[in-house]
Amino acid sequence: MPSVQGRSHSRQAAPTPTMANTTSWSSGLCGCFDDVGGCCLTFFCPCVTFGRIAAIVDKGETSCFVSGTGYLLLNWLTGLACLHSFRYRSKLREQYGLQEKPCPDCCVHMFCEACALCQEYRELKTRGFDMSAGWQENGAATAAPQMNPGMTR
């Protein structure tokens, strides 16, 4: 596994339009235990996980609190919060040119809601986002990500 040292503040830029939907996810749908903290958060408070994902995917247009509360209410009232959350998976995929796999976004969220949220959370963390900080802290820096120049003499 590659080292994450020095990646805490850099985010990978979105792919160019020619790269659309060709990039693989950084982890699999069932890789929930790759990030035990995110897995536990999603298991006990999926509304918080969704709120954090939505705030970053929407680039701060909606707050984590508003998105999470909406998810919670939708889940309590209908049990179908997945019909709302799958749209954020689609947005995330489009922003980063990720493949729609293993099946369409709506099916992933309908049948594996917790795993889908965990995968999206891990993807954003892998891309350098501090998920607990919100968009204001993550989106403030607009500079290109720092690249490691490799070994030098």
Q: How far apart are the first and last CA of the chain?
A: 25
Tell me how far apart the alpha carbons of residues 84 and 106 are, in angstroms, rounded to a whole number: 9
Average pLDDT, the chain: 83
Question: Residue 39: enclosing H or E segment and its boundaries?
Answer: helix 36-44
Is it the case that residue 5 has pLDDT exceeding 50? no
Sign of CA dihedral 89, 27, 66, 63: negative
Which pLDDT tens digit goes with each residue over 6-15?
A: 444 455 555 5
Q: How confident is the model at residue 149 (pLDDT cuts 50, 70, 90)?
A: low
Which pLDDT tens digit goes with each residue over 60-110?
A: 999 999 999 999 999 999 999 999 999 999 999 999 999 998 899 999 999
The pLDDT of 114-134, averaged and rounded, is: 94
Tell me how far apart the alpha carbons of residues 94 and 71 are, in angstroms, rounded to a whole number: 22
Q: How confident is the model at residue 32 (pLDDT cuts 50, 70, 90)?
A: confident
Q: What are the structural domain ranges in the chain?
A: 37-136
State the pLDDT at residue 134. Answer: 83
Residue with the bigger pLDDT between 60 and 142: it is 60
DSSP code string of 46-110: HHHHHHHHHHHHTTTSS-HHHHHHHHHHHHHHHS-THHHHHHHHHHHHHHHTB---SS-HHHHHH
